[in-house]
Amino acid sequence: MKFRILIIALLLFSLTGIAQRKFDPQTLELIKTKKIAFMTEQIGLTSQEAEKFWPVYNELEKERYMLMDKKRDLEHMSEAPKPGMSDADYRKLACEMAATHAKEGKLIEEYNLKLLNILPAEKVVKLYRAEGKFRASLMHEFRRGQEEKRERESNK
């Protein structure tokens, strides 16, 4: 069960930030290792490309998840607003939420250019597809685990 919760958290928050503070570091490291192997294979990175790619990608991930933490905090504020919030307070919150989304888009554009300086464009496109495939494989693994758990519980 703990592993399945971790999978969902990773889908939302990935391997850095809040996830590292809440979950077993060994499990996180295992998933990170799987992600590196999966992405390297899916993209078709050479050892020379991987040497340049991973530091830049890890930097992107770190910045991306800091923004995700900010988005989550803002969403929490919108879900549980303080009593007596004024229209001006809501306006400020809405502007902060929009600005955070815009920063996320700018971050992707910035790192897209960095990645295009490291890898051929085809491999950058493969990267974006590989990220989606990895998330889907984690979700599939989570669902399979949930089904197995239900079967075990129903057989008791």
Residue with tokens 């990773």: 10
Q: What is the pLDDT of residues 48-101, one digit of tens each?
A: 999 999 999 999 999 999 999 999 999 988 888 788 888 998 899 999 999 999
Predicted pLDDT at 68: 92
DSSP state of 81: P
Predicted pLDDT at 153: 81
Spatial distance between the Cα atoms of 105 and 42, rounded to a whole number of angstroms: 24
17-21, 63-67, 148-152, range with greatest mean pLDDT: 63-67
Please, are residues 35 and 15 in contact by the beta-carbon 8 Å criterion?
yes
Residue with tokens 């530091």: 55
Predicted pLDDT at 19: 43
Show the domain range for 9: 2-154
Please, are residues 12 and 68 in contact by the beta-carbon 8 Å criterion?
yes
Q: Domain count of the chain?
A: 1
Q: What is the pLDDT of residues 107-133, one digit of tens each?
A: 999 999 999 999 999 999 999 999 999
Report which of 80, 66, 84 is spatially closest to residue 18, judged by C-alpha positions: 66
Has this prediction a pTM greater than 0.75?
A: no
